């Protein structure tokens, strides 16, 4: 079922495509050398989907990029959430780790790309490392904030009930901080895509960023547009999947907000 909001959204998309058609094919205000017409876009899409471009078909590029994002993101949250929990729980850990963070945080994640390529080459490992660095920070910071924002009576109630240390982390601290942890995950996922495409633009043999890079060198705006829209769709799909997980995990919380 498409609701009223869905219809409005579809209307906008249709309007944008109509305007696109009008500006390019219909009137020629925008020349094909700068921006492709809908038919050129479609032709490029068919080309990369069937015969391939930049060494592979669209699905190969897209799945490769998706795989790297998912892996980098998972490594980042598997390290970032525990570190954030630990820093939130222990003032001593915070005191020890925070200075390092203050220095590392302002470095844009993309600035790690040269070092990553130098260390690990143009393969997957370098990209996973860069994604890890960029997605790690939002996970840590939001998890940390989530722990620090837990209502004191919740923690006191758990202590009063004699909750042992490990159960305290898994059953009290982590779920209590989870709304903010998920905020961190959303930011981490966004950062993962940004970083991956940038890393693939700089050095890669396959992937959506590589497609964009090749299309630029070939002066092929229609293929650039195909690459951009592919990134958009992939980013939307992963965000959507994460939102589904969040809704499941925070059912107790979402319902409370209604």
Task: Rule CB under 8 A: say whether 160 interacts with another protein.
Answer: yes
Task: Rule CB under 8 A: say whether 159 interacts with another protein.
Answer: yes
Window 103-142: contact mask with another protein (x via CB under 8 A): ----------------------------------------
Strand ranges inside the chain, DSSP E: none
- Under 8 Å between Cβ of 99 and 156: no
From residue 128, give the alpha-carbon distance in Å to each of 42, 70, 84, 235: 32, 9, 20, 17
Task: Rule CB under 8 A: say whether 166 interacts with another protein.
Answer: no
- Of 240 and 252, which CB lies nearer to another protein in the complex structure? 252
Task: Rule CB under 8 A: say whether 163 interacts with another protein.
Answer: yes
Region near another protein per CB under 8 A, out of 20-28, 89-97, 220-228, 250-258: 250-258
Task: Rule CB under 8 A: say whether 161 interacts with another protein.
Answer: yes
Task: Rule CB under 8 A: say whether 164 interacts with another protein.
Answer: yes
Q: What is the separation of C-alpha 80 from the centre of its chain, rounded to a whole number of angstroms?
A: 15
* Number of residues lying near another protein (CB under 8 A): 22
- Of 104 and 251, which CB lies nearer to another protein in the complex structure? 251
Task: Rule CB under 8 A: say whether 175 interacts with another protein.
Answer: yes
CB of 241 to another protein, least distance (A): 22
- Of 70 and 174, which CB lies nearer to another protein in the complex structure? 174
User: In the window 27-86, what residues touch another protein (CB under 8 A)?
Assistant: none
Rounded Cα distance between 199 and 118, Å, is 13
Task: Rule CB under 8 A: say whether 169 interacts with another protein.
Answer: no
Q: What dihedral do alpha carbons 142, 143, 145, 147 form, nearest 10°? A: 160
| Chosen residue from 57, 190, 216, 253 binding another protein by CB under 8 A | 253
Region near another protein per CB under 8 A, out of 65-73, 108-116, 174-182, 183-191: 174-182
Nearest Cα to Cα of residue 217 among 81, 28, 58, 53: 53
Q: What is the DSSP string of 5-17?
A: HHHHHHHHHHHHH
| Maximum Cα–Cα distance across the chain | 75
Which residue matches tokens 């970032």? 80
Three-state DSSP at 56 gives strand
Q: What is the separation of C-alpha 202 from the centre of its chain, rounded to a whole number of angstroms?
A: 18
Rounded Cα distance between 242 and 255, Å, is 18
Q: Interface residues with another protein (CB under 8 A)?
A: 151, 153-154, 156-164, 167, 171-172, 175-176, 178, 252-253, 255-256
């Amino acid at each position: 079922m498409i609701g009223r909001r869905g219809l409005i959204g579809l209307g906008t998309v249709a309007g944008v495509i109509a305007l696109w058609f009008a500006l390019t094919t219909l009137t020629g205000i925008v020349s094909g050398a700068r921006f492709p017409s809908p038919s050129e876009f479609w032709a490029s899409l068919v080309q990369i989907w069937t015969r391939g471009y930049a060494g592979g078909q669209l699905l190969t590029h897209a799945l490769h990029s998706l795989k790297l994002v998912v892996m980098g993101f998972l490594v980042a949250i598997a390290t970032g959430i525990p570190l954030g929990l630990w820093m939130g729980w222990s003032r001593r850990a915070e005191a020890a780790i925070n200075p390092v963070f203050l220095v590392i945080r302002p470095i844009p994640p993309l600035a790690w790309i040269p070092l990553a390529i130098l260390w690990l080459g143009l393969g997957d490992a370098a990209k996973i490392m860069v994604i890890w660095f960029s997605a790690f920070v939002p996970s840590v910071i939001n998890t940390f904030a989530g722990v620090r924002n837990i209502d004191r009576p919740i923690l006191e109630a758990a202590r009063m009930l004699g909750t042992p240390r490990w159960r305290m982390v898994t059953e009290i601290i982590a779920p209590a901080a989870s709304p903010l942890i998920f905020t961190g995950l959303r930011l981490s996922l966004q950062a993962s895509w940004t970083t991956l495409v940038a890393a693939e633009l700089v050095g890669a043999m396959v992937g959506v960023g590589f497609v964009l890079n090749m299309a630029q060198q070939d002066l092929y705006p229609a293929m650039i547009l195909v690459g951009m829209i592919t990134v958009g769709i992939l980013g939307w799909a992963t965000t959507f999947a994460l939102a589904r997980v969040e809704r499941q995990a925070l059912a107790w919380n979402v319902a409370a907000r209604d």
